[in-house]
Amino acid sequence: MSNGNYSVGGQVGGGFGASMGGGYGGQGGGFGGDGGNGGPTGGSGPTGGDLIFDVTTQTFMADVLEASRQQPVLVDFWAPWCGPCKQLTPIIEAAVKAAGGTVRLAKMNIDDHPEIAGQMGIQSIPAVVAFKDGQPVDGFMGAQQESQVKAFIEKLGGPAPANEADAYLEQATELLAANDFAQAAQLFGAVMQMEPENVKALAGLAQCYLGADELERAKQALELVPEDKRSDEAYTAAVAALDLAEQAASLGDLAEFHNRIASNPLDHQARFDLALGLNGKGDKEGAVDQLIEIVRNDREWNEDGARMQLLQFFEAWGFKDPASNYGRRKLSAVLFS
């Protein structure tokens, strides 16, 4: 069967083969929409946790090419009249969801948007092209068995995490580290919809609110953590971060501390307060530098207060945070030089 320039169910053709190289609502509040999976009619493109979405010629650059630099994206070229497309759709969508966020799926209706398929030399549908780092890297044509599709996705994105919640947590944590608080909050919210008492999701959502300077909402998120789970590292880190944010909020304009240090470089209290303020503004390494300067000049100041504050920073930031590594290296250099 064919429609226009496309046939159905064929094998990989010349041009295609050559190009292949042979929110969360509720608690999420102000961060916007649903953090769950998107459907095959995702409308204007992916948001938050959408794994499956529609793509157009206009959105292809952002939603596929650029997005594939962060995460592999499959593009399913299909048409409403294509019978094998209808067979492949539930198989590939189920496989993408089962992959737990290792890949995403963009659906492109070639009747409405024929340009990209034409440029890639696609002459038969269904056709699935995998993009990674902004380039097409693999693909297949025609309906496939479930096992074949799963193997294709695992080859591209790696093994699926143990469960969907773990996949969302992994993605959300990466987004949080990149200061993408809105999308991280949506994914943490998606985990909370599946596991309402997940301490890592609740603590992560609190960290998102802290990043957005919404301290009261951060408190509310932490209050939802069950008492018996409050020894978890994610919870204690979020509590430490909240405490630091409250201290920073009480400091006001940091120019005063800069001026005091300029007048007297040994004004350790000014450096200490400046460190708190810099951390509150997201300048973690700057905060480290101020405290290290105190330790270098007077280790015993304020009962070892500068070093203890550094340790609180490390707890709040998390062991893997680059700023924690930076601070530990600087502190070791001072203490053991």
Question: What pLDDT score was predicted for residue 11?
Answer: 36
**Is 186 found in the same domain as 92?**
no
pLDDT at 27 over 60: no
**pLDDT tens for each residue of 241-293:** 999 999 898 888 899 999 999 999 999 999 999 999 999 888 999 999 999 99
CA atoms of 156 and 149, how far apart (whole Å): 11
Question: Which one is catalytic: 8, 79, 82, 190?
Answer: 82
**Is 241 found in the same domain as 148?**
no
Q: How confident is the model at residue 337 (pLDDT cuts 50, 70, 90)?
A: low
Q: How confident is the model at residue 318 (pLDDT cuts 50, 70, 90)?
A: confident
How many residues would you count in the chain? Answer: 337
Question: What pLDDT score was predicted for residue 161?
Answer: 58
**Is 298 found in the same domain as 239?**
no
Average the pLDDT over each of 8-12, 60-64, 188-192, 203-207 and give the range with the smallest value. 8-12
Instruction: Pick the more confident residue, 197 or 18.
Output: 197
Helix (H, G, I), strand (E, B) or coil at 76: strand
Does the residue 23 lie in any domain? no
Instruction: Pick the more confident residue, 34 or 129.
Output: 129
**Is 244 found in the same domain as 176?**
yes
Question: What pLDDT score was predicted for residue 5?
Answer: 53
**Structural domains in the chain (count):** 3
**Is 222 found in the same domain as 188?**
yes
Using a pLDDT cut of 90, give the percent of the chain over it: 60
**Is 266 found in the same domain as 209?**
no
**pLDDT tens for each residue of 107-157:** 999 999 999 999 888 889 999 999 999 999 999 999 899 899 999 998 988
Q: Tell me if 106 sits within 8 A of 132, measured CB to CB.
A: no
Does the residue 258 lie in any domain? yes
Does the residue 27 lie in any domain? no
Q: What is the pTM of this model?
A: 0.50
Identify the CA nearest to 34 among candidates 45, 20, 50: 50
82 is catalytic: yes
Q: Which CATH number does the domain housing residue 73 bear?
A: 3.40.30.10
Question: What pLDDT score was predicted for residue 194?
Answer: 85
Q: How confident is the model at residue 7 (pLDDT cuts 50, 70, 90)?
A: low
3-state helix, strand, coil in the chain (%, to 5): 55, 10, 35
Does the residue 288 lie in any domain? yes
**Is 176 found in the same domain as 231?**
yes
**Is 59 found in the same domain as 146?**
yes
**Is 330 found in the same domain as 257?**
yes
Where among 208, 233, 249 does a domain terminate? 249
**Is 245 found in the same domain as 295?**
no
**pLDDT tens for each residue of 150-198:** 999 989 887 655 577 888 898 899 899 888 999 899 999 989 988 899 9
**Is 269 found in the same domain as 240?**
no
208 is catalytic: no
Where among 249, 275, 304 does a domain terminate? 249
Identify the CA nearest to 297 among candidates 261, 253, 254, 322: 261
Q: Tell me if 161 sits within 8 A of 130, measured CB to CB.
A: no
Domain that holds residue 219: 164-249
Helix (H, G, I), strand (E, B) or coil at 59: coil
Q: Read off the pLDDT of each residue in 14-32 and give the average, rounded to a whole number.
A: 36
Question: Which one is catalytic: 73, 74, 85, 128?
Answer: 85
* Cis upstream peptide for 84 (omega within 30°): no
Does the residue 29 lie in any domain? no
Q: Which CATH number does the domain housing residue 218 bear?
A: 1.25.40.10
Does the residue 26 lie in any domain? no
Does the residue 16 lie in any domain? no
Where among 190, 214, 249 does a domain terminate? 249
Question: What pLDDT score was predicted for residue 246?
Answer: 92
**Is 150 found in the same domain as 168?**
no
